[in-house]
Structure 1
Amino acid sequence: MAASYHVRSSSLPSRLHSSGLSHIQLLLKKLPTDNNNNSLSLLSQLYHSVSHLFNESPSSLLLPHHSFFTHLLDLSLVHLDLCSKLRDITCRIKDCLRDLRSAFRRRRHGGDSTIRRHVISFIRSRKAVHKDLAKLLLLLKHADHSYSGPTHHLITLLRQVCSQTCLSFRTVLLSLSTSVPKPRPSKWALVTKLVIKNVTNTGAQVQTGHRNEYQLMDEELQRFCTAKEIKKERIKSLNTSLDKVDIVVEDLEETLESLYRRMIQARVSLLNIVSLHI
């Protein structure tokens, strides 16, 4: 009986949870490539469906794919690491945003020079975020997604889930990788530029069709930095932009938190299957 676990099947077993497979296929078709939060929300649903598929399908029909599942476990660690680090970055952005907005509210106690110092500090924090985004883009690019084992419908479907995970993360990373006002030449600035350029030239560039909230905020920061004097209208305009970004970041953080939990659940379900082979 144990030997049957090593039989390689070239077709999908008929008793595999068919409704779960159909739902995964449906979600893959619905996943957009041009909207960060919608993409991540659907990706979270996708991982929930994968967990359901693993839990509801007979283990004896999943075990023949043990070699691929082992590969999938290794890949899931990379995806979890990316999700966790991206979530940390959104927390940092949110904290920096709120510090700057708080400084604007206290402006009458510090004057224009204090405001300028806070804006400069915020821009420096954006540069630090860009360094971390460059590292994550490199990590995503160098992750080993290749698999040379037998192929069939189940493996093809799960590989599509992995591909969509990478595409969704790349969408978010690129949307956060907007230009920072008055960048100073540095090694990491060059790395960020080269990595983003290389990624977008692979054919997986995110087609947004319009400037996102981060780009609009950076444009406001640029105008603020180059202004000879700080006027109320300029502060109001920048505050409006910061408010919009804060809402987007808050939503992104919550979506990433939900996605991370679903990815953990899928990994646990996968570990349960692989453990049966030991």
Structure 2
Amino acid sequence: MTVSFHVRSNSLPSRSHPQAAHVNEQLAHLRSSEEASTSSICKRIDNLQELHESLDKLIRLPFTQQALAQVQNKKAVEQLLDGSLRILDYCNISKDVLSPMKAGLMEIQSMLRRKRGDLSGEVRKYLASRKSLKKTFPTIQKSLSVAREGESLAVFGEAEAITVSLFDSLFRYMFGSKTCGKWSVVSKLINKKKVTAEAQVNEFTRVDSEFQSEKTLKIEDVQVLVSCIQDLEDGVDSLSKSLIKYRVSILNTLGQ
């Protein structure tokens, strides 16, 4: 499969190249991903990190550099820069949400293990923090649902749309909202078929339910959630690093 770049009515060169074919294969794999468990979200984050490494290699190829350096494509390249910055913002938001949750859970985990301390107070503190964080979700969701105007260097624009959709799934999962594990945002951004959101129980909502119901707290469930959060943090951190490299390559194209 060859990659085709285009910006509205302006066509960029289409070339058959192994790196371009590899990027298309990665995009196809990500489009087909539909599950919405923490493990699958972690895997998709890993896949997106690998995708952006591939995009970085693609954007540094001579024929791609020549195409992106054309005057008529300058606006589209600037859009890619804006998009990469927006995704980096989502990475930072994810870290800001996950970090305090993990800290609170680790404190609760320690109390459960030692069987001393103000456990009920720490649980209330955690739930209050979760409630406060959930209030920020509508604002985040609004920014995620903003569609781009026109097309932006097709393969790069699609990668951005898929990455934004991953964060939509991630935020929904963390905040215990109805989850759209079937790429609902991508459906809006790149005109794929509509899908229906389904309520889903996950590690976050399971622990919330246990804390709220005043049942015997299960240290195993807390441990599972802490581990999941750590995996998500590690994945988002790796994705951030790949995005920064990718962004530098785009900036170098503008500097030519």
**TM-score band (shorter)?**
0.7 to 0.9
Separation (CA, whole Å) in 2 of partners of 1:74 and 1:158: 12
Q: Is the 8 A contact 2:108 2:122 kept in 1?
A: yes
TM-fit CA distance, 1:62: 2.7
Which residue, 32, 46, 54 being the options, matches 1:41?
46
**1:68 corresponds to which residue?**
76
1:130 aligned to which of 134, 155, 160: 134
Give the CA deviation at 1:130.
Answer: 1.2
Q: Is the 8 A contact 1:174 1:206 kept in 2?
A: no
Cα distance, 1:10 vs structure 2:
2.5
Structure 1 residues 235-277: Cα deviation after superposition (integer angstroms, max 9, x where no partner)? 3x2x11111101100000000000000011110000000111x
Once superposed, what is the RMSD of the aligned Cα atoms? 2.6
Residue from 206, 212, 218 that aligns with 1:222: 212
Choose which of 241, 256, 259 in structure 1 pairs with 2:239. 259
Name which of 141, 144, 147 aligns with 1:140.
144
One-letter code of the match for 1:75? G
Deviation at 1:74, TM superposition (A): 1.3
Give the structure 2 partner of residue 23 of structure 1: 22
1:77 partner SS: helix
Report the alpha carbon displacement of residue 56 of structure 1 after superposing the two structures with TM: 2.2
Equivalent residue letter for 2:206: L
Matching residue's letter, 1:73: L
CA distance in 2, matches of 1:207, 1:12: 41
TM-score (norm 2): 0.80
Structure 1 residues 241 and 107 mapped into 2: Cα distance closer, same or farther (>3 Å)?
Answer: same
Q: CA deviation at 1:11?
A: 5.1
Distance in 2 between residues matched to 1:18 and 1:87, nearest whole Å: 36
Give the aligned partner of residue 183 of structure 1: none
Shift of 1:30: 1.2
* Corresponding residue of 1:188: none
Matches within 5 A, 1:63-142: 63-64=69-70, 65-108=73-116, 110=117, 114-142=118-146
TM-score by length of 1: 0.74
Task: Note if contact 1:171-1:206 (Cα within 8 Å) is conserved in structure 2.
Answer: no
- Check conservation: 2:109, 2:222, Cα contact below 8 A: yes
CA distance in 1, matches of 2:165, 2:212: 30
Assess if the C-alpha contact under 8 Å between 1:33 and 1:168 holds in 2.
Answer: no
- Name the CA distance, whole Å, in 2 between partners of 1:39 and 1:56: 26
Identity %, equivalent residues: 22
Q: Distance in 1 between matches of 2:195 and 2:254?
A: 32
Gaps of 5+ in 1: 1-7, 180-192, 194-198, 228-233
Query: Could you tell me which amino acid in structure 1 is paired with residue 11 of structure 2?
Result: S
Amino acid at match of 1:23: H
Counterparts of 1:221 and 1:46, CA distance in 2: 38
Alpha-carbon separation, structure 2, partners of 1:74 and 1:119: 40
Q: Deviations over 1:189-248 (max 9, x none)?
A: xxxx9xxxxx8997466668x521112112212322xx5xxxxxx13x2x1111110110
- Match for residue 172 of structure 2 among 159, 163, 174: 174
How many residues in Structure 1 have an aligned counterpart in Structure 2?
228
